[in-house]
């Protein structure tokens, strides 16, 4: 039982890290564009960031429940626990990423956020390094 609880708590932390990457990545791109930070134009970072929010938005539009949420629920059930964890880190990770509201509200939020990320791809496009910059 403790094994399932620990796995469920790990899933919550991974989920929170994913959300943090999407939200904080967006903030970093905005700030980095204003301050001319070159690393925010890395095509790998920008592509992964766009893909992360893109998958979330498409899943929400399709009505697909997040697989991390489903996995956590399964593991909590196997551990004999309720959906929300009692562990300190898992509890606060939950509080940070899960809000109550109608599903349509979150779908709109995800799609709008994805459109803002796409907008940043235009306003502060990623750049490939030229051979001159590498030497």
Token reading at 38: 């070159």
| Mean pLDDT rounded to a whole number for the chain | 86
For the cut 90, the answer to whether the pLDDT of residue 50 exceeds it is: yes
Higher pLDDT, 86 or 91: 91
pLDDT-based confidence at 61, cuts 50/70/90?
very high
Beta strands in 22-66 (DSSP E): none
pLDDT score of 56: 92
Tell me what the mean pLDDT of segment 44-55 comes to. Answer: 96
The sign one gets for the Cα dihedral 57, 128, 124, 35 is positive
Mean pLDDT over residues 69-91, rounded? 74
The domains of the chain are located at: 2-127
Q: Global pTM?
A: 0.79
Residue 97 above 70 pLDDT? no
């Amino acid at each position: 039982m403790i094994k399932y609880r620990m796995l469920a708590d790990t899933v919550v932390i991974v989920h929170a890290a994913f959300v943090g990457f999407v939200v904080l990545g967006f903030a970093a791109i905005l700030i980095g564009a204003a301050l001319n930070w070159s690393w925010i134009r890395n095509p790998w970072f920008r592509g992964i960031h766009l893909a992360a929010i893109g998958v979330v938005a498409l899943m929400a539009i399709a009505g697909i429940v997040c697989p991390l949420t489903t996995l956590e629920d399964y593991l909590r059930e196997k551990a004999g626990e309720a959906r929300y964890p009692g562990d300190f880190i898992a509890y606060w990770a939950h509080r940070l990423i899960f809000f109550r509201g109608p599903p349509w509200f979150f779908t709109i939020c995800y799609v709008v956020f994805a459109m803002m990320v796409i907008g940043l791809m235009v306003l502060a496009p990623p750049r490939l390094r030229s051979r001159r910059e590498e030497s």
